[in-house]
């Protein structure tokens, strides 16, 4: 068996510092003053000297105090499940009885969104919006991005994502699954297509010192998709198609394959694809992912 010293040396091979990650982000195209929405896999980056916080600290180093960084945190398990129809009556009854009210300042991030967002959420100077569709934001544009939030259809017009688009925001994919791009829920919400699924559910909030179950609705952001014609992993097809259309090959930051692009470009690509697939499910198999056309 290898000695402990050999095992440690093997682990340290390819360790990345904050400065090395920052240089990688610069070479990719992140600039001072940018507004960035980050999706990240800590594991994909590799061994990081100082731990996962160095990822968002490296980005902040590049963005400077003129820039803005945001991630999607959402809410803990079961907070937005009652009424969706995915649980049994008994399961919903237990949740209604036992689940505490959602506290956006202290509730953990949804585990499916990765570990980095929770590191980012709990770091000094991070701020969140008062909603189960919760984003974590740091930087110059944080007050504007968090300034208001519609209770229903929280990913659409008037939402934080709407203002992110207005700020010419960029999406940064750091070694993550391309099916997880939250901004595409904005495209689903604003897409002018018939037959979109509406999810109606209840969430526990505190009002006047009491727990209240408040009604909420949105175009379905669950794995079912906002439209019955959406194929499995539709978001990944849209993202990869857009990257191909732009000849955006990305680069490595640490060990992670990484891509940076404008949210507005992805929206322009995704909307006609969504319209085509909504009109005819067969169009999903005919999408030309190199051009954004059918």
Answer yes or no: is pLDDT of 154 > 80.
yes
Answer yes or no: is pLDDT of 178 > 50.
yes
In angstroms and rounded to an integer, the radius of gyration of the C-alpha atoms of the chain is 20
DSSP, residue by residue, 233-245? THHHHHHHHHHHH
- Residue 130 included in any domain: yes
Strand pairing class (210-219; 198-207) = antiparallel
Answer yes or no: is pLDDT of 6 > 70.
no
The proportion of the chain whose per-residue pLDDT surpasses 90, expressed as a percent, equals 85
- Residue 9 included in any domain: no
- Residue 50 included in any domain: yes
Answer yes or no: is pLDDT of 287 > 80.
no
The reported pLDDT for the residue numbered 282 is 83
Across 191-208, b (16+ Cβ under 10 Å) vs e yields bebeebbebebbbbbeee
Structure tokens at 200: 């109606």
**What is the average pLDDT score of the chain?**
92
pLDDT interval class at 13 (50, 70, 90): low
Range of the domain at 139: 15-285
The reported pLDDT for the residue numbered 291 is 41
Taking the CA of residue 197 as centre, how many other CA atoms within 13 Å lie in the half-sphere pointing to its CB? 15
Query: What backbone phi and psi angles, to 5 degrees, belong to 16?
Result: -115, 140
The reported pLDDT for the residue numbered 110 is 87
Answer yes or no: is pLDDT of 277 > 60.
yes
The reported pLDDT for the residue numbered 267 is 98
Q: How many domains does the chain have?
A: 1
Strand pairing class (135-139; 68-72) = antiparallel
SS3 of 172, please? strand
The reported pLDDT for the residue numbered 293 is 42
Mean pLDDT (whole number) for 249-259: 97
- Residue 132 included in any domain: yes
Helices (H) and strands (E) in the chain, counts: 11, 9
Structure tokens at 45: 């980056």
The reported pLDDT for the residue numbered 1 is 47
SS3 of 201, please? strand
- Residue 236 included in any domain: yes
Mean pLDDT (whole number) for 184-190: 98
Cα(first)–Cα(last) distance of the chain, in Å?
A: 56
pLDDT interval class at 235 (50, 70, 90): very high
How many angstroms separate the CA atoms of 150 and 147, rounded? 11
Answer yes or no: is pLDDT of 290 > 60.
no
Please report which residue ranges of 64-159 form alpha helices under DSSP H. Answer: 89-98, 116-121, 142-145
Structure tokens at 37: 């929405």
| Residue located via tokens 């999903």 | 284
Per-residue pLDDT tens digits for 46-81: 999 999 999 999 999 999 999 999 999 999 889 999
Per-residue pLDDT tens digits for 86-139: 899 999 999 999 999 999 999 999 888 889 999 999 999 999 999 999 999 999
Tell me how long the chain is: 294
- Residue 7 included in any domain: no
Mean pLDDT (whole number) for 267-281: 95
- Residue 89 included in any domain: yes
- Residue 4 included in any domain: no
């Amino acid at each position: 068996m290898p000695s402990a010293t050999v095992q440690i040396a093997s682990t340290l091979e390819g360790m990345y510092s904050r400065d090395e990650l920052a240089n990688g982000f610069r070479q990719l195209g992140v600039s001072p003053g940018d507004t960035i929405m980050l999706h990240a896999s800590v594991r994909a980056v590799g061994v990081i000297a100082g731990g996962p916080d160095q990822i968002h600290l490296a980005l902040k180093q590049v963005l400077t105090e003129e820039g803005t960084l945001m991630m999607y945190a959402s809410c803990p398990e079961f907070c937005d499940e009652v009424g969706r129809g995915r649980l049994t009556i008994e399961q919903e009854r237990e949740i209604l009885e036992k689940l505490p009210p959602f506290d956006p300042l202290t509730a953990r991030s949804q585990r499916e969104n990765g570990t980095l967002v929770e590191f980012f959420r709990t770091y000094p100077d991070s701020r969140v919006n008062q909603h189960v569709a919760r984003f974590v934001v740091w930087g110059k544009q944080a007050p504007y991005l968090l300034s208001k939030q519609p209770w229903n259809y929280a990913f659409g017009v008037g939402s934080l994502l709407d203002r992110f688009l207005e700020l010419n925001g960029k999406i940064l994919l750091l070694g993550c699954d391309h099916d997880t791009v939250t901004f595409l829920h904005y495209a689903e919400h604003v897409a002018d297509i018939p037959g979109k699924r509406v999810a109606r559910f209840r969430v526990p909030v505190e009002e006047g010192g009491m727990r209240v179950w408040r009604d909420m609705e949105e175009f379905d952001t669950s794995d079912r998709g906002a439209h019955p014609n959406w194929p499995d992993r539709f978001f990944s097809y849209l993202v990869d198609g857009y990257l191909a259309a732009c000849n955006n090959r990305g680069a490595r930051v640490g060990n992670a394959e990484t891509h940076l692009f404008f949210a507005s470009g992805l929206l322009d690509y995704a909307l006609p694809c969504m319209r085509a697939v909504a009109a005819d499910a067969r169009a999903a198999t005919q999408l030309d992912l190199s051009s954004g056309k059918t």
